Amino acid sequence: MNDTTRARLMRVSTATLTTVLFKRGFHNTFLQQVRLVGGTQANMVGAAYTLRYIPAREDLDGIDAFNDRSHPQRVAVEECPEGQVLVMDSRGDASAASSGGLLLTRLLKRGVAGVVTDGGFRDTPEIALMDFAAYHQRPSAPTNLIKHHAMDLQLPIACGGVAVYPGDVMVGDAEGVVCIPAHIADAVAVEAYDQTLYEDWVAKRIGEGAGLFGVYPMTDASEQAEFAAWRGAQAAHYPLATGMN
């Protein structure tokens, strides 16, 4: 992902992204039952680094399992590249934690962009105070070993009912997380950024008392002319919009 794509995606909402993806034929891109733990204000943007859990088995997942330095969960925390997002397939099971505060602190310190699970986190009061994008289903105090066996890394997974392939672009905001297929991320970022500029104009007009018809969608010729004039004055606020430079 190039820096311009990242910068555009930092400025757009997951709602706008789902619409742009829908127009391209992608209907299932918003992760279900996945919520932001803390109060971070910036969007989470990064390529997916994947970890898959399967159900735990008693002879493999005792408390000493973490003594093994090849344990996939611990390897993921130590090897997820800077700027990427650790995405965990926890089978939608939040009855035991997918991870906890200490591991998320390590990810934060290593420069990882965020972490997503369709299970739960433990230590959520502490995680909520971190300036770190962490998304889960709900709090879960029990250790992951009770229910989750960390199986493998960097393979296609399911998270929140969405197929996530390594390298897909994950974008999170206060509403949730969207997965953008890697091969269309640049084009989606351009369209979503331009769409955000248009939607900001619509919000302005509705705030001024305008009705929907002719404005949203913009079919009225006079509205189109007013938008074009307003758009031309917005270069400083939307420097990455197409045709602004």
Mean pLDDT of 5-18: 97
The position carrying tokens 């972490």 is: 115
Report the pLDDT value the prediction gives residue 232, as an integer from 0 to 100.
Answer: 87
CA distance 245 to 239: 7
Please report the beta strands in 143-198, taking only residues with DSSP state E, as ranges in sequence order.
Answer: 148-153, 157-159, 162-164, 169-173, 176-180
What is the average per-residue pLDDT within 20-48? 94
The CB-based long-range contact list for 60-64 (8 Å cut-off, 24+ gap) reads: 60/149, 61/145, 61/146, 61/148, 61/149, 62/145, 63/143, 63/145
Helix (H) or strand (E) holding 44: strand 44-55
- Is residue 25 classed as helix, strand or coil in its secondary structure? coil
Q: Using one digit for the tens of pLDDT, what is the confidence trace for 145-203?
A: 999 999 999 999 999 999 999 999 999 999 999 999 999 999 999 999 999 999 999 99
What span, in angstroms and rounded, lies between the C-alpha atoms of 18 and 10?
15
What mean pLDDT is predicted for residues 49-59?
Answer: 97
Mean pLDDT, rounded, for 202-230: 92
Tens of pLDDT, residue by residue over 85-119, are 999 999 999 999 999 999 999 999 999 999 999 99
Question: What pLDDT, on a 0 to 100 scale, did the predictor assign at position 2?
Answer: 93
Largest CA-CA distance found in the chain, in angstroms, rounded: 71
Residue 235 is predicted with a pLDDT of: 87
**Does residue 244 register a pLDDT over 80?**
no
The 10s digit of each residue's pLDDT in 134-146 is 999 999 999 999 9
Helices (H), 83-220: 101-109, 124-127, 185-207
pLDDT of residue 18: 98
Q: How big is the chain, counted in residues?
A: 245
Please say if the pLDDT value at position 207 is more than 80.
Answer: yes
* pTM of the predicted structure, to 2 decimals: 0.94
Neighbouring residues of 82: CB distance < 8 A, sequence distance ≥ 6: 110, 111, 112
At residue 164, the 3 state secondary structure works out as strand
Instruction: Extract the tokens encoding 34.
Output: 């996945």
Token pair listed for 24: 């391209």
Nearest to 168 by CA among 73, 50, 54: 50
- Per-residue pLDDT tens digits for 30-43: 999 999 998 777 89
Q: pLDDT value at position 234?
A: 87
Mean pLDDT of 44-49: 98
CA 23, 28, 33, 34 torsion-angle sign: negative
Confidence grade of residue 130 (pLDDT, cut at 50, 70, 90): very high
Q: Is the pLDDT of residue 245 over 60?
A: no
Task: Report d(CA 106, CA 102) in Å as an integer.
Answer: 6
The mean pLDDT value of the chain amounts to 95
Angle of helix 185-207 relative to helix 221-232, nearest 10 degrees, comes to 110
Question: 232 is written with which tokens?
Answer: 């031309």
